[in-house]
Amino acid sequence: MSQDLIIGIAGAGGDGVVSAGESLLTAAALEGYHGIMTKSFGSQIRGGEASCRLRLATRPVLNPNGPLDVAVALNWEDFLRFGAELPVESGTVVIYESQTGVAPDKVPLEGVTPAVVFSVPITELAEKTAGTDKAKNIVVIGLLAGWFGIGRESMLAGIRKKFAKKGTAVLEGNVRAFQAGLEFAGKYPLKKERQLTAARAGQGAKLLTDGNDMCAAAAIFAGCSFFGGYPITPSTEIMQFLDREIWKYGGTVLQAEDEIAGLGAVVGASFAGQKAMTATSGPGMSLKTEMLGLASIAELPLVCVNVQRGGPSTGMPTKAEQSDLFQAAFSAHGDCLRPVLAPTSVGDMFGITVEAFNLAEHYQTPVIVLSDQEIAQRKETVDPIDTKRFHVIERRRPTEAELNNYTRFKLTESGISPISHPGMPGGNYLAAGIEHSESGRPTASGELHARMNEKRFRKFNSLKDRRDLFVVEGDPEAPIGLVSWGSVAGVAKEALRLAQAEGLHAKLLVPKLLYPVAETVYQDFFASVTRGLFIEQSFQAQLYRLVRMFVDIPAGIKPLAKSGSNPIQPAEVLERLRELVISIQGNRNHHQAELIEG
């Protein structure tokens, strides 16, 4: 029996690969299992390859993990296109379409001899039972349910619900296709028991959702009443969710003609007194830069979600990467500071989105949320959100006394000035992209420009003291430190737990506030550290380089960084931790020898 099962399925677009994965995850969640499902596509508009990677476990899971326990190839050409995203090793059970004509001892997996290989006439079974090859994915989930014991009854109930509206013939055909998969698995059983251990009772109801939907729901909770944007992979679902739901709460969605206009409308809505947001990806962020500058100098609150993908340019629009951090922190003309936040999971996306609105409203600033394709589009089992844990902040409105000779950009001690909106008696002021005096009057005075720059930066001093925006795990005095952020933080957390199980002393820092850099938090974390790793999915190791600009990082801390679509696995991090322990021990032994010689 297994407490953790990783399944990878790949085929052509239209094979229903992702649908099969979602059916498996839904059934497993109903049975009480925890799970994550990532999905990946070729970047073609139509056709191309598609895959999903599903991890099911009896305990909470933090990341999609490493090599597959089960690999399903509907055709080998598409499966092999995913490379390191669907790694096969000697213990993997391989299931593939027999119509590919490949003999079981000739599967095209270089350097690997899988534990078990099944050649299954998947298309033939689909056509024989359902009368169409479109039922291939249903046969596949029947096979997996039979061999690995994943929610047979729940999946069957799901099939009946899904196809009920398509008529009796279609429904019964898909039920037969599922049963054909079960029967094939029963006829050719696995020699070694691989079934999932039964889920623990009393797990309670769980949400099954993705990061984009979680972000949109959190925005509504936080009081967002306006969204302006333009569709771009992989952020579009945020706009789609809000377009369906926000009107129920008195809100509005505007799909603009381009990325620039989308953010321009958000700036206007914020000026009008509304909580407003946009969502985009790297190329769209490039276009939004000038409008973000306008919101910064006009001190207008807004939230901009950047669902990162592989870049530069069009890059890899359907793959995750963490390579937009420099863009988020520095893509501004002039001296400009915008808070940058990052969620670590689908569940965390809710709290980060609410926090982004709170920071935007409190500090009267654009706030950038760096999600990524994995968090945005992966399905994850999440405990129901306890909204009582969250406090929603509103912007500081002027008092009646302040509206008497109102000064919009008043140089207050905190740097935060009262903000009015059109129609507020006495609250009229000039908001523009030009430098201004306290009243908003345009100026070319170098002295006033310096004072306003100082004001706009000073107001963020308190933000760097927000230790609740950082997670620290492990031995506080450990000599080895890990730092990781965003979706890769789950990999680092699992690696830390594996290291602790081996008796290794290490600790982990996960910043959810990426910028401004909280120098004191990092300095305190590094106080005991002589060796360590920054673990991130970018070629340049962008967080590592960003933190080095502000903090004296110990020389023994190095980046473990990879370009997108090259997964970092917990086992890989664990191996590097072992090497660091050996390095520390070797250095200590060398030092002791020097003392003896001396």
The string of DSSP letters for 272-337 reads TT--EEEEE-HHHHHHHHHHHHHHHHTT--EEEEEEE-B-STT-BTTS-----HHHHHH--SSS--
Question: In angstroms, rounded to a whole number, what is the distance separating the alpha carbons of residues 70 and 559?
Answer: 32
Average pLDDT across the chain, whole number: 94
Residues 29 and 109 in one domain: yes
Q: Write b or e for each residue in 366-394: b if 16 or more Cβ atoms lie within 10 A of its Cβ, otherwise e.
A: bbbbbbbbbbbbbbbbbeebeeeeeeebe
- Domain boundary (361, 389, 417) is at 389
pLDDT value of residue 393: 97
- Tell whether the model's pLDDT for residue 554 goes beyond 50: yes
Residues 254 and 331 in one domain: yes
- Tell whether the model's pLDDT for residue 553 goes beyond 90: yes
Does residue 471 form part of some domain?
yes
Residues 360 and 476 in one domain: no
pLDDT in tens, 266-298: 999 999 999 999 999 999 999 999 999 999 999
Does residue 366 form part of some domain?
yes
CATH of the domain at 551: 3.40.50.920
Residues 175 and 40 in one domain: yes
pLDDT value of residue 46: 65
Q: Print the domain residue range for 541.
A: 466-588
The string of DSSP letters for 368-379 reads EEEEEHHHHH-E
Does residue 202 form part of some domain?
no
pLDDT value of residue 48: 81
CATH of the domain at 289: 3.40.50.970
Residues 10 and 106 in one domain: yes
Does residue 126 form part of some domain?
yes
CB 500 within 8 A of CB 550: no
pLDDT in tens, 318-356: 999 999 999 999 999 999 999 999 999 999 999 999 999
- Contacts of 491 by beta carbon, 8 Å cutoff, 6+ apart: 62, 63, 484, 535, 568, 569, 570, 573
Written as six digits, the tokens of 360 are 């935007």
13 pLDDT tier (thresholds 50, 70, 90): confident
Residues 182 and 223 in one domain: no
- Contacts of 315 by beta carbon, 8 Å cutoff, 6+ apart: 282, 309, 321
pTM for the whole structure: 0.94
Question: In angstroms, rounded to a whole number, what is the distance separating the alpha carbons of residues 574 and 500?
Answer: 10
Q: How many domains does the chain have?
A: 3
pLDDT in tens, 106-146: 999 999 999 899 999 999 999 999 999 999 999 999 999 99
- Contacts of 575 by beta carbon, 8 Å cutoff, 6+ apart: none
CB 528 within 8 A of CB 479: yes
Residues 220 and 256 in one domain: yes
- Residue 563, Cβ density class (10 Å: 0-12 exposed, 13-18 middle, ≥19 buried): middle
- Tell whether the model's pLDDT for residue 66 goes beyond 90: no
Does residue 35 form part of some domain?
yes
Residues 582 and 486 in one domain: yes
pLDDT value of residue 200: 76
pLDDT value of residue 594: 47
pLDDT in tens, 71-115: 999 999 999 999 989 999 999 999 999 999 999 999 999 999 998
CB 26 within 8 A of CB 79: no
Does residue 435 form part of some domain?
no
- Domain boundary (152, 187, 222) is at 187
Residues 216 and 182 in one domain: no
Q: What is the mean pLDDT of residues 7-32?
A: 91
Residues 183 and 48 in one domain: yes
Residues 218 and 249 in one domain: yes
Does residue 418 form part of some domain?
no
